[in-house]
Amino acid sequence: MTEKELYTQITSKLTVELPDLFKTILEEACENACNSKTMTDDKSKKFGALVAFVTAANTLKTLVKATLANNFDTINLNYRGKSFVIDQSHPILKLDLSGIL
């Protein structure tokens, strides 16, 4: 399975629309899962990509919330060649990822 196929398989089953930043995080998780030497079958690649994505996304959400709570209006984030401006109303702060796994 290619990275793109894994990404498409995962996103086609999601019941929520991912913001662009989370799409980029998921792309990286799929890339890492497909390049893994220990995840050899499609099922483990999918699960590994999902676990990595949810972990990274929730960690980022916590970091962003804490930073914005400390008197910052916006955060400028450059990630994988893309730029994101995050403020209190950014979609990543509102999205509940608890049902993805």
Report which of 58, 96, 90, 57 is spatially closest to residue 72, judged by C-alpha positions: 90
Residue 12's pLDDT is what?
95
φ/ψ of 48, rounded to 5, equals -60, -40
Cα pseudo-dihedral 101, 80, 39, 37, rounded to 10: -160
pLDDT tens, residue order, the chain (101 aa): 999 999 999 999 998 999 999 999 999 999 999 999 999 999 999 999 999 999 999 999 999 999 999 989 999 999 999 999 999 999 999 999 988 87
Distance, CA of 39 to CA of 34 (rounded, Å):
8
Sole residue written with tokens 């399975």: 1
Residue 98: the pLDDT is 85
Six token digits for residue 61:
């959400």
